């Protein structure tokens, strides 16, 4: 069964460093998402992406974040200058269409900023 994959599974970085989290969505899906979950807290929406542009973004998704689909398969989240509070699990998801379609989640990348 097709699945969303994410790399790396864990990343440790120093405050101020740039990180890139990678995702490979399900191949025929059209919408892509990033979510994050700070330890012990709710999952939070960051951004959705469709047709090579951002469709929606939350207040969390400020100028230090960016997303890209550099080729036909990868979908990346870049954090330009990491802060301690960026430590979280980051989930990528994809769906066939938009509002009323199931979103399929990847296994997550656990990011620790020191």
The site map against other proteins for 50-89 (x = CB under 8 A) is -----xx-x------------------------------x
Contact at 8 Å (CB) between 1 and 104?
Answer: no
Contact at 8 Å (CB) between 104 and 5?
Answer: no
Select 65 or 104, whichever has its Cβ closest to other proteins: 104
Select 14 or 53, whichever has its Cβ closest to other proteins: 53
90 bridge partner residues: 36, 109
Q: Which residues bind other proteins (CB under 8 A)?
A: 31, 33, 35, 37, 41-45, 48, 55-56, 58, 89, 91, 95, 98-105, 107-108, 110
């Amino acid at each position: 069964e097709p699945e969303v994959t994410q790399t790396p599974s864990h990343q440790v970085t120093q405050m101020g460093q740039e990180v890139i989290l990678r995702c490979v969505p399900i191949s025929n899906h059209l919408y892509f998402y990033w979510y994050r979950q700070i330890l012990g807290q709710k999952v939070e929406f960051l951004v959705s992406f469709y047709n090579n542009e951002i469709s929606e973004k939350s207040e969390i998704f400020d100028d230090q974040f960016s997303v890209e689909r550099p080729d036909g398969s990868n979908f990346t989240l870049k954090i330009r200058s990491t802060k301690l509070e960026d430590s979280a699990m980051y989930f990528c998801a994809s769906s066939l269409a938009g509002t009323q379609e199931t979103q399929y989640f990847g296994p997550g990348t656990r990011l620790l900023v020191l």
